[in-house]
Structure 1
Amino acid sequence: MPPPISTRSTATCWTLAAAEAFDPAGLITRAAELLEDHPDFLHAEQDRLALVLVDDLQEATLSQHRLLALLAKDRPLVAFAAPDSVVQGFRGARTDELHRFAQNYTSTTEATFLELAHGYRMPPQITKAWERIVQRVPLAAGLRGRTLEPRQAGNDDACQALAFENSTLEERFIAQRIVQLSLFENRSLSDIAIVVRNGSQVRSYSRFLEGQGIAVQVPPAEIPLKDEGAVRPLAGPSGIVLQQLGG
């Protein structure tokens, strides 16, 4: 049986979540502690899982590794990871734990590793640029993931690096380049992608390009769940209900 959770605790969690004042690592750690303190509950949850699939394991924190090990150790587990693609290091991602994958997730310390070495998206020139960059990234999980065979080169594949004095010049250049590709080289806007570092840059570039008359489609993942159109109308009533239950 799962451990009892009071409605007052649920209401408190809702209040903290609404204020974005909760600590994800703390919540995950607490979940792991509940499973450790209630073996029957842990075994019931383990029995529900015939196979565990994990994507982007390089982004996992120590608390996430702890919870995953509780649920999936010595059980069918398939995890995908790109050690040199971690972007959540400032939030506690521990890429070095990939080097201890077999030790963390099996009692026999034996695991099967499959390295995907054939590229399907980056052409040769971009692959070579990626290889030069990745050599400057410290090793966290050995040399796995650093061998890549590029796809067949196309007629117009190119890789170019440019430096700008400020973000305004950068935005203007990108807008001019998009217009050139669209009007003079018959490229569809849906074939053009802009990759930026963080959410604030997504908003900044979106506003600038839309101001220039260029249609922009932002990935849904960049929109916080609480701001989704289908979610916001439910947030208020749900909070009222939880307050009544907890009061």
Structure 2
Amino acid sequence: MNRNDYDNFKFLHHQQNPLILYNCWDVASAKAIEEAGSKAIATSSYSMAEAWGFSDGEQLSFEQVLWSISRIAKHVSVPLTVDIEGGYAVDEESLANNMEQLFQLNICGINFEDQKVNHPNQELWETSEQSDRIRTIQQVAAKLQKNVFINARTDLFFKNMKHSADLVNEAIERTYAYAEAGANGIFIPGLTDRSLIEHFVQQSPLPVNVMVMDGMISNAELQEIGVKRISYGPHSYFQAQSNLQEQARTILQPPAHYLEMS
């Protein structure tokens, strides 16, 4: 990677065409996605954990996350952004320590969520608390003289499945606070209703990132209403696993007539 990765990555969030990220989970998937023409590489925490036999939710150790990201970073030549969930930290000291280790690697961006990972009630950090956590990350980056694109993720739309204009406005309030704290983008996974996404985009002070999932409108429609980043999350992993299983089934379970001939 070169020193302009951050600038290039940030620029990709301010074009007419949205940045499309087909998320990876290891070196092989990252290289395949880059060779397919992706302008940036993004990891999926869910996919990375599943690939190693763990559940999502910071069950994969932070040490192994660092190792996996370091391997991916060495094998891609486009900007790399990584999903770090809640930073594997419950206080700002541990968050700062973890980010200092992470920022030693060749990455230009992170996804950072406001859900308290593995909390039984899917509790979110208070807006002011999460804002302070974002400031801590920015302070670490400044200390290391490194620019990092912070894609602040709010899990409001996963915590509350009854989506409404009021919930969107609550998310917008968080977005303004996160932007003031130093976030560069806002990620709103779970929201799929076109009118609500459009309302969010119109009100957001930051480039908006959505996640492809059941019920999501088309990429063309997302571009039309001003979404700047479209992530596929674990969809790419599910698709790869499905294709692998189907190919294996074809080989391991040949048609009956083939067995009769042999």
Q: TM exceeds 0.5? A: no
Instruction: Indicate the structure with greater strand content.
Output: 2
Query: TM-score normalised to the size of structure 1?
Result: 0.31
Higher helix share: 1
Give the number of the structure whose alpha-carbon radius of gyration is greater: 1
